[in-house]
Structure 1
Amino acid sequence: MFYPVLPGVAPITDEFPGFKDYLPWGPFFGVFVKKGTPDAAVDTLVNAFNKGAQHPEFVELMENRGFIIMNASGKEAEDFLSSYRSVSSWVVHEAGFSKHSPEEYGIPKP
């Protein structure tokens, strides 16, 4: 897969296939609400976010910056965040930069 903003640049996984275990990873943007927020309020926010994420100007902006629009919510978003936390925590720990193992906090190894 090539990205329009990086023409001719192959994905890092072409050279280092093991990186696939850590992807997707990188900065992300999201809208979060407190657990227990009424379903009607959550639905309103999800619908508004979906509409905005599909707006042509927003799509163009994200594509020009090399971002991939995930537009995830509910279980899909929870699964992404769980994986992100696991990968990030264990990479930092295995690099020797953490005082405690992620395992101490119940964070599974990816």
Structure 2
Amino acid sequence: MHISINPGSGPVHDADRTTAAANMTRFVEDLADRGVMATGFMATPNNDYGDGRYAFRLNLPDGRCAEVQMPGLPVERVRWMDEPDQNIWDSPRLYVDGSSWVWRHALNCCGPNED
């Protein structure tokens, strides 16, 4: 018997860094659509999880940095936004600073610091 608490948190097969970087560009665009103007990102391969997710350091406008482990699959398979034709069980999770999130909620992790 297999029980899954966080759908999409397992290994991502057939992934690559180039696709993950393209996904990061889209992630930054989605943040901008929410009013969060990230100041850039850079690959940090030494931090890769090694499971089809690739590490990036995301520079946020308030001076914080977030580590994003981005799946290296085509964006239409990763970018879960709760659209009617999307199934959360089909989307691999991103990791932001060590916690797993589907795309839509990962964006929230990069919003303004509430402290």
Give me the TM-score of the superposition, normalised by structure 1.
0.24
Give me the TM-score of the superposition, normalised by structure 2.
0.23
More relative contact order, 1 or 2 (CA 8 Å, 6+ apart)? 2
Over alpha carbons, which structure has the higher Rg? 1
**More strand, by proportion:** 2
